[in-house]
Amino acid sequence: MLYVQDKVVKLGGVYLKGQVTSVEVQEAGSVYVAQDEKGRFKKSQPVGYENAKVMIDILLEDSKKATTLEQLTEMQRLFKAYGQDKPKLLPIVNEDCAARGISSVYFKNLTSKKVISESKRIASLELWAPDIAGIKVKKKKSRKKTKKKSTKKTKSKKMKSKSPAKDSRSTQKAKKTAKRIVK
């Protein structure tokens, strides 16, 4: 009989019962692979990132507080409550997820397996993060230097190209000023 009830993962405000045996976090990039008509690879190109996946394996055994079936039923209610049509976004608290920037997940899969020769059940959860996890970096505040106004005349900032085709100046500011004057 297993007596240890670890508080390793808190999902939807509830600590998962049982002994959490593993927590696996997967993140992957999406790569598009172009092929020619004959099926040969021409080139591969990165196109983004896939959502992070969190897999949790839990060993369930009868305890003084709950049987394995009661523990499994509690997980099932988190996965799909009565009358629920779509998976709900659940907050997750776990050190591995926090280190990867994952704070909320959707249930993707819940599987359970009864080991007949033993008194235990094994539950596996697959959770998906709704967006790409990323660790935000705080930017260092830089001190702005104040510019001293000089009394010297400055040269014109006009482009000195002779061809109007090479003129790439923006006229947006002048257009806005003209519209204000007309109104």
3-state secondary structure 81-116: CCCCCCCCCEEEECHHHHHCCCCEEEEEEEEEEECC
Domain ranges of the chain: 10-128
Burial group, residue 55, by CB count within 10 angstroms (0-12, 13-18, 19+): middle
pTM of the model: 0.61
Fold of 10-128: Elongation Factor Tu (Ef-tu); domain 3 (2.40.30)
Per-residue pLDDT of the chain (183 residues; tens, 9 = 90+): 444 556 788 888 888 888 888 899 998 888 888 877 777 777 788 888 888 899 999 888 888 888 888 888 888 888 887 888 888 888 998 888 888 888 889 888 889 998 888 888 899 999 998 876 555 555 666 665 555 555 566 666 655 555 556 666 677 887 888 888 876
